[in-house]
Amino acid sequence: MEEKKQDLRVNNHPILKGKSAGDKITITVEGEEIEAYEGEPIAAALLAADITVFRRTKKRQDPRGPFCGIGLCTDCVMKVNGEPNVRTCITPVEDGMVVEKQGDDREVRKNAK
Amino acid sequence: MLNKEVAVVGGGPAGLTASIELAKRNVDVTLIDENLQAGGQLLKQTHKFFGSEEHYAGVRGFNIARELIEDAKDLAVDFLLEGSIYSVYEDKVLAVKKEKSTRLISPERVIFATGASEKVINFPGWTLPGVMGAGAVQTFVNQHRVLPGRKFTIIGSGNVGTIVAYQLLQAGAEVAAIVEAADEIGSYYVHANKAVRSGDIPVYTSHTIKEATGGESVDSVKIAQVDDSWQPVPGTEKTIDTDVVCLAVGLRPRTKLTSLTGCRSIYSSTLGGEVPLHDESMETSTDGVYVAGDVAGVEEASIAIEEGRLAGVSAASSLGYISNSAEADQKEEIRGRLELLRGGKYGEERAEEKERIRSIFNERLTRRESSTVRR
């Protein structure tokens, strides 16, 4: 599994060459620790860890993931350090960040107050 | 409220060159962009551009972005990054949100270089995780350097579709298919050639996507052949294993801010959708408001570079920073290069469409002036 995770990062690109990656840090997603690199958005760290479902729709609980990648569509929003509706594709990771899926309507409303 | 001579909105190729032309002539200019970094979509382009030296021929897209940003910084352009404009009030007052505070900027001239947004097609399963825009794929792979999956199916074979295909090959991913509804590949030959010459990518022309399937995220896609009236032909369905469906079905001008500013627009299918009317100096129907790049009609980065320059020169001269004779020469030079870029079979149709937009603009302006006189 560890090997499978590794191959999603494009570390050696024939044209862009090696990535000048930031420091390796750890974030917690749904209670599990995953690695991330300073400077990258939360969504990139999740995709690199093979996580594709970011949230569920309120009524039907359908899965959703990143769609536009540039902060416009809001399909990738998650709860970050307790704050709901954070656009993970444009929000940089921070060491120790706690990221959770959202989708329970009551939960979101309670937090918005 | 912050008073400025010129605000340029959008830091892609058009916004950068507009800012550079203004700063070169000592105009007080602020460049506003909502991202962490300026450069726009150029940052995600790994291929070498063609054209002439003025269009950075032979330079890779992300390096063109670097050069332009450097030039702008050398000229002390004021960058306002991570700034999102959420409204435009009367007299071109821009309401900008940065972090958790807001500020108002009141510029004498505004250049909107807001680019384009992606079009989308709908099909059963299109909301599943794993279905995403071509822009998202480029952003994750070339900017954040993470593959959003392992096996990609690309819908659309225009320049964006074929460029993404070989960018994915460069990054070590597998491209399961390119699916195109028309009966031939839509992109420039150079891009198509790079994507398919490896022989690794099956291209399905005259095919459309019927469905993306999977429980929690995409695991396969169903395609079918289309007949002359674009309808799927029963019995021709194929299923392809794939975990990312990449939509590359076109772009439309991002005109929210120009319409908020009262700029009149017109529909153009050739240029991607609603296009703000503009004259040969890139000025819109709202006084002191200019457009440049994809927002003025979806074309390509080298055109955006020149249109940005043209808008920058126009705004600078309207503020009195350029003498009338110098202005005419400088604009002629840029227009000559734009004409060259729009030559050939791909550009002609766009050149005609831009001409149509200019003539409608001039017609309406004349009518408006004569009606004012009558009143």
Q: Which CATH number fits the domain that encloses residue A71?
A: 3.10.20.440
The residue ranking higher by pLDDT, B273 or B52, is: B273
Overall number of domains in chain B: 2
For residue B116, pLDDT beyond 90: yes
How far is Cα B12 from Cα B18, in angstroms, rounded to an integer? 10
- Least Cα separation, residue B215 to chain A (angstroms): 9
User: Same domain for B206 and B124?
Assistant: yes
**Residue at which a domain ends, from B232, B247, B262:** B247
Judging contacts by C-beta atoms under 8 Å, the chain A residues touching residue B141 are 10
Would you say B301 and B45 are in contact if contact means Cβ atoms under 8 Å apart?
Answer: yes
User: Same domain for B90 and B175?
Assistant: no
Domain span at residue B202 reads 120-247
**Residue at which a domain ends, from B222, B247, B272:** B247
This prediction's pTM: 0.91
Determine whether A35 is exposed, middle or buried from the number of CB atoms within 10 Å of its CB (0-12, 13-18, 19+): middle
Backbone angles phi, psi at B108, to 5 degrees: -75, -35
The residue ranking higher by pLDDT, B317 or A16, is: B317
Judging contacts by C-beta atoms under 8 Å, the chain B residues touching residue A71 are 34
CB atoms within 10 A of CB B33: 24
- Residue A75: C-alpha distances to residues A35, A63, A65, B131 (Å): 23, 10, 6, 11
Non-local (6+) Cβ contacts of B250 within 8 A are: B118, B119, B156, B158, B272, B298
User: Same domain for B316 and B174?
Assistant: no
Q: Which amino acid is at B229?
A: S
- The H or E element that residue B97 is part of is strand B93-98
What is the per-residue pLDDT across B169-212, written as a single tens digit (0 to 9) for each? 999 999 999 999 999 998 888 888 887 776 779 999 999 999 99
User: Same domain for B224 and B301?
Assistant: no
Overall number of domains in chain A: 1
**Residue at which a domain ends, from B226, B247, B268:** B247
B58-67, B281-290, B316-325, B344-353 — which is least confidently predicted? B344-353
Q: Which CATH number fits the domain that encloses residue B319?
A: 3.50.50.60
A14 in B contact zone (CB under 8 Å): yes
Interface confidence (ipTM) of the complex: 0.90
Strand partners, B178: B154, B203
User: Same domain for B107 and B144?
Assistant: no
Retrieve residue B294's tokens: 């994809």
Pairing of β B2-9 and β A63-64: unpaired
The three-state secondary structure class of B208 is strand
User: Same domain for B363 and B303?
Assistant: yes
Sequential pLDDT tens for chain A (113 residues):
444 445 899 988 888 887 767 899 999 999 999 999 999 999 999 999 999 999 999 888 999 999 999 988 999 999 999 999 999 999 999 999 999 999 865 555 555 55
**Residue B179's closest CA among B198, B158, B199?**
B158
User: Same domain for B159 and B223?
Assistant: yes
Q: With an 8 Å Cβ cutoff, are A67 and B131 in contact? A: yes
Q: Using CA coordinates, name the residue in chain B closest to A69.
A: B136
For residue B127, pLDDT beyond 70: yes
Mean pLDDT for chain B overall:
93
Would you say B80 and B32 are in contact if contact means Cβ atoms under 8 Å apart?
Answer: yes
* Confidence (pLDDT) at A110: 58
The DSSP string of B132-160 is EEHHHHHIIIIIS-B-S-SEEEEE--SHH
The residue ranking higher by pLDDT, B353 or B371, is: B353
Alpha helices in A1-113 (DSSP H): 2-6, 42-48, 105-112
**Residue B296's closest CA among B109, B118, B115, B39?**
B115
Q: Using CA coordinates, name the residue in chain A closest to B133.
A: A68
User: Same domain for B108 and B134?
Assistant: no
For residue B365, pLDDT beyond 90: no
Domain span at residue A19 reads 2-112
Average pLDDT over residues B62-80: 97
How far is Cα B31 from Cα B18, in angstroms, rounded to an integer? 9
Residues 24-53 (A) with a CB less than 8 A from some CB of B: 40-41, 43-45, 47-48, 52-53
